[in-house]
Amino acid sequence: MEEIVTRLKNAVINYEMETIADLAKEVVDSGVDPLVAIEEGLAQGIKTVGEKFGKGEIFLPELVMGAEAMKAALAVLEPAVPSGKHRATLGKVLIGTVQDDIHEIGKNLVSTMLSSNGFEVVDLGVNVPSEDFVKKAAEIKPNILAMSALMTTTMPRMGEVIAPLKKEDPSVKTIVGGAPVTDVYAKEVGADGYSGDASGAVDSAKKLVG
Partner 1 sequence: MANSIRIRCRRDVLDSDGVRRIRYAALEILERTGVTVKSKRAQRLLVDAGCDLDEKSATVRMPPSVVEGCVRRKKRSVTLHGRTPAHDARLDGGHVHVCSDGNGTMAKDFDTGERRISRKEDVARAALVSDALEGHGVNWPSVTSQDVAAGTRHIHDLQASLENTEKHITLATNTTEWEVEDVLAIAAAQAGGADEFARRPFISSIHTSSSPLQIEADGMDAGFVAADGGMPICFYVMPGPGATGPVTLAGSVAVAVAEALAGNTIIQLHRPGTAFVFSCGMAVLDMKASMRAGGGPEHGLTSAAFTQMAHSMGFPALAGGFVTTSKEPDQQAAYEKFASAVTPILAGADMIAGIGLLEDCRTVWLEQMVIDDEISRIIGRMAQGVEVDDESLAVDVVDRVGPGRDFLGQRHTMERFRTEHFMPIISDRSSWDSWVQSGSKSILDRARERVRGILDEHSVEPIRDEVGETVAELIERRRR
Interface residue with partner 1 among 12, 17, 77, 189 (CB under 8 A) is: 17
In the list 75, 88, 102, 138, the residue contacting partner 1 (rule: CB under 8 A) is: 102
**Residue 109-128 contact track with partner 1, rule CB under 8 A, x = bound:** x--x-------------x--
- DSSP annotation of 128 reads B
Number of residues binding to partner 1, judged by CB under 8 A: 23
- Nearer CB in complex with partner 1: 65/165: 65
Q: Maximum CA pair distance of the chain?
A: 54
% helix, strand, coil for the chain, step of 5 = 55, 15, 30
- With a CB cutoff of 8 Å and minimum separation 6, the contacts of 146 are 93, 94, 95, 96, 107, 110, 114, 174, 175, 176, 177, 201, 205
Distance CA 195, CA 210 (A): 17
In this chain, which of 19, 30, 60, 180 binds partner 1, going by CB under 8 A? 60
Among 5, 24, 43, 65, binds partner 1 (CB under 8 A): 65
Binding site for partner 1 (CB under 8 A): 15, 17-18, 59-62, 64-65, 67-68, 102, 104-105, 108-109, 112, 126, 195-197, 199-200
